[in-house]
Amino acid sequence: MGPIDELWEILTLVTVVALGGLAVLVALVRGGGGKTKTAPRPPRVDEKERAEELPSPEAPAEVENRGGGVAVEPEVVEPTAPEVERPESARGRLQRLRARLARSNSAIGNALLAVLSRGGLSESDWEDVEDTLLASDLGVEATEELVSSLRTQVKVDGTTDPEQVRRWLHDDLLRLVDPTMDRRIAASREGDHPAVILVVGVNGTGKTTTVGKLGRVLVAEDKDVVLGAADTFRAAAADQLQTWGERVGVPTVRSDREGADPASVAFEAARAGVEMEADVVLIDTAGRLHTKRGLMDELGKIKRVVEKVAPVSEVLLVLDATTGQNGMRQAEEFAREVDITGIVLTKMDGTAKGGIVVNVQRKLGVPVKLIGLGEGPDDLAPFDPEAFVSAIVG
């Protein structure tokens, strides 16, 4: 090999080495110090194997359905509101709302005091007292008791001093309202199941709104709550209840199909309460006319189905306080169908007649536990007999 051939080989070798070094340098610059960043490729999974890995859906629960509607699997809707409200404690709420109560009921007390303070009361005056009490929906029996007691005290004391008469009237009304009745809401877990509260009543009484407001009351008392939208016959009822729940971070069990079986929704709500270890499940039932026998029978069915999961702790009847004697007939009909444990009186801030509290308690033998005093979200208050009577008499 001549000198020229040797020189050519040397130049070729140098060129190869230089190109190789350049390639390594480029790789180092692109790779950030020699480490290659590549997205891991997901392992290929055979479709058969994927199907075997996924849990199989549970079969729908067997729910009693005797012609009560279309059985549709309800769903649990978790709250999605961006800001969850924290309601104020309900303790003492009726005291704070006393002014509203007084505006609608103080006319009764004023009318009574105007008559009783006249002095030298005649039979005509006592008849005016009776008429005023009857007009307040106190009821015949309670009116006779109250008038008899007042007449005796006026006769024995021999005075109609306004302040003394006011004290007598206050004490007698408080006795009729009966502060000894247990007005607590059964809303605590018992063993391995939550308390279940059914809320019943006719359309127009504010039943669904009452369920939402009661949910707020319980959340304020640090209770874990589940709502059940078993009013499936009114299109907006489930949406309305879900909105109430979302505002305070409470899940709602509902069906998106109008006319679905209410008992199925109620059953799933109770079961969700068990699975979530909730303290209480509030179930809104469809508003029904107390004169419709089939609808009242369905209410009994809902109660039976729910009790396959957990005992029903409370059945609260929502009554419009402005309906007077018609409301009393509703109450008696509902009481014949299910065991009512408490009354919720709504619209007590309007033209309500406070005597209905005494009347409904005597007719049903159960206490008024809650009263609604406005449209605000926290205008539902635990019933306080002392505050109630003081608002009437002053």
* Residue-level pLDDT, tens digit, the chain, 394 residues: 555 555 445 555 445 445 454 443 334 334 444 332 223 333 333 433 333 333 333 333 444 443 344 444 677 777 665 578 888 777 777 777 677 676 666 667 788 888 888 877 889 989 999 998 888 888 899 999 999 999 999 889 888 888 888 899 999 999 999 999 999 999 999 889 999 999 998 877 889 999 999 999 999 999 999 999 999 888 789 999 999 999 999 999 999 888 888 999 999 999 999 999 999 999 999 876 555 666 677 888 899 999 999 999 999 999 988 887 778 888 888 888 788 999 999 988 766 578 889 999 998 999 999 998 888 888 898 999 998 888 888 6
**Residues facing 372 on adjacent strands:** 380
Q: Is 323 annotated to bind ligand?
A: no
Look at residue 64 in the predicted model and tell me its pLDDT. Answer: 45
Q: Is 347 annotated to bind ligand?
A: yes
Sign of the C-alpha dihedral, residues 199, 204, 205, 206?
positive
Look at residue 391 in the predicted model and tell me its pLDDT. Answer: 81
Contact call for residues 340 and 366 (beta carbons, < 8 A): yes
Q: Is 346 annotated to bind ligand?
A: yes
Q: Is 372 annotated to bind ligand?
A: no
pTM over the 0.85 mark: no
Q: Is 359 annotated to bind ligand?
A: no
Task: List, in order, residues 6 or more apart from 164 with CB less than 8 Å away.
Answer: 157
**Residues facing 202 on adjacent strands:** none
* Cα 248 from chain centre: 11
Contact call for residues 225 and 250 (beta carbons, < 8 A): yes
Look at residue 366 in the predicted model and tell me its pLDDT. Answer: 95
Question: Is 117 exposed, middle or buried (CB count within 10 Å of its CB: 0-12, 13-18, 19+)?
Answer: middle
Q: Is 348 annotated to bind ligand?
A: yes
Q: Is 205 annotated to bind ligand?
A: yes
Q: Is 328 annotated to bind ligand?
A: no
Q: Is 351 annotated to bind ligand?
A: no
Q: Is 285 annotated to bind ligand?
A: yes
Q: Is 206 annotated to bind ligand?
A: yes
DSSP string, 60-82: PPP---SSSSB----EEE----S
Look at residue 51 in the predicted model and tell me its pLDDT. Answer: 32
In 3-state terms the chain splits into helix, strand, coil percentages (rounded to 5) of 50, 15, 40
Q: Is 315 annotated to bind ligand?
A: no
Could you tell me the two tokens for 352? 């309500």
Could you tell me the two tokens for 288? 């029904």
d(CA 113, CA 94): 24
**Residues facing 344 on adjacent strands:** 318, 370
Q: Is 37 annotated to bind ligand?
A: no
Q: Is 201 annotated to bind ligand?
A: yes
Q: Is 286 annotated to bind ligand?
A: yes
d(CA 364, CA 368): 10
